[in-house]
A = this chain, B = another copy of it.
Amino acid sequence: MKRPTIADVALAAGVSKGTVSAVINGRPGVSDDTRRRVRNISESMGFRASSAARALAGAPSRVVGLTLNREARTLGLEPFFMELISGLEEELAAHSYGLLVQMAHDEAAEATRYRRWWQERRVDGVLVCDVREGDERVAELERLRMPAVVLGPPSAAGTLPSLWSDDSISAVETVRYLAALGHQRIAHVAGIPELAHTRIRTESFARTCSEIGLTNAVTVNTDYTGESGARATRALLASEHRPTALIFDNDVMAVAGLAVAAEMGLSVPDELSIVAWDDSQICQLVHPPLTALNRDIPAYGAHAARLLLATINGEPATAQREEPARLNPRGTTTRPRMTANTANHTDVTVAPKGNQ
């Protein structure tokens, strides 16, 4: 009642182990007849090649690694990662690849983890999330010559292939839309400043605001948690030149911002417009439903998986682009209503930039 090995199948089929190996791996050099027979027998015996023996003999391990830095983000809360994993895994499974997941507490720990995985031959490659400029994980992967794909801008990916959606396009679209609605004071509640995509969003936000002539554009950084988003929102709404529109770098903070508005007696969207970056189901569950920047995250994950598999197979891979997130206006954005208070401030702020 032992598990059958390749030798058992070979014996039963009256061929050599090499032939069975060629058949189960779809390699050429076997007649259709033999192939069929071996396949049938192998099937009927319930044979499955031992992944360890396979890997030891030089074949790929068919496992890909992903580390999640749980200090940097509130993983449990952001639907992003689960959706990413879902798309990623779906594509990997289609190629008989598994996904090894590991938590890490910082960038250095992630780099160490990659090294271990590589030394132990546990994975054939890894996926890198949340890159920073000068990310030490990138340097380590280059040093190890380990197949990897960076989810982020090429500027932070070094010589590694990368996949990203251009957040600056989305930022431009959002700011222009809000400006077209009549907003003059827009603020950006951003994520962790060191992350490459946070920089891109922040710079694009600032540049676009200044191009349009909005001088009060301010960015506040947070750690992506709802709590820090709420704190940032309170500070912004309590400031002298209160913004009439807020762009949040994730949906969780946008939901928190919505609650803060309610708590401070500001009606959304009349007195405050809100845009969420990343559009999960939660955006449609709150009241009013959140205007959000939407992209297909599972598709992003699937694309990343394909790119990584190609890299593992030695195909020359370059930076690839995913569709940028698109603005999906719902119930939290409208023309700013001029209350006595805000109208006043508007005049004051508008005045100095007549020269633009």
Residues of A within 8 A of B (CB): 3, 46, 48-56, 61, 63, 70, 74-77, 79, 81-83, 85-86, 89-90, 93, 98-103, 116, 119-122, 225-227, 230, 252, 255-256, 258-259, 262-263, 280-282, 284-287, 297
Contacts and interface: CB of A to CB of B under 8 A. Distances in A.
Given A93-B103, A120-B48, A287-B258, A76 B83 contact: yes
Contacts of A103: 86, 89-90, 93
Contacts of A287: 258-259, 262-263
Contact of A102 (B77, B98, B119): B98
B74 A86 contact: no
A281 B102 contact: no
Question: Top 6 nearest A-B pairs by Cβ distance?
Answer: A52-B55, A48-B119, A259-B287, A76-B79, A76-B83, A52-B56
Nearest to A81: B82
Contact of A226 (B53, B70, B282): B282
Contacts of A77: 79, 82, 280-282
How many copies make up the complex?
2
A249 to B, nearest CB: 15
A76 B120 contact: no
Contacts of A282: 77, 226, 252, 255, 282
Nearest to A284: B226
27 contacts: A46-B119, A51-B120, A52-B61, A52-B121, A53-B56, A63-B100, A75-B82, A76-B281, A76-B297, A77-B281, A81-B82, A89-B101, A89-B103, A98-B102, A98-B122, A99-B100, A99-B101, A100-B101, A225-B281, A226-B281, A226-B285, A252-B285, A256-B285, A259-B285, A259-B287, A263-B287, A282-B282
A38 B270 CA distance: 71
A226 B255 CA distance: 15
A259 B100 CA distance: 38
Contacts of A100: 63, 98-101
Nearest to A229: B285
Contacts of A56: 50, 52-53, 56
B120 A50 contact: yes
A72 to B, nearest CB: 13
A70 B82 CA distance: 10
A50 B121 contact: yes
A48 B99 CA distance: 21
A116 B50 CA distance: 10
A274 to B, nearest CB: 13
A298 B46 CA distance: 37
A50 B57 CA distance: 12
A308 to B, nearest CB: 16
Contacts of A50: 55-56, 120-121
Contact of A259 (B61, B85, B256, B286): B286
Contacts of A99: 100-102
Nearest to A74: B281
A261 to B, nearest CB: 9
A332 B272 CA distance: 25
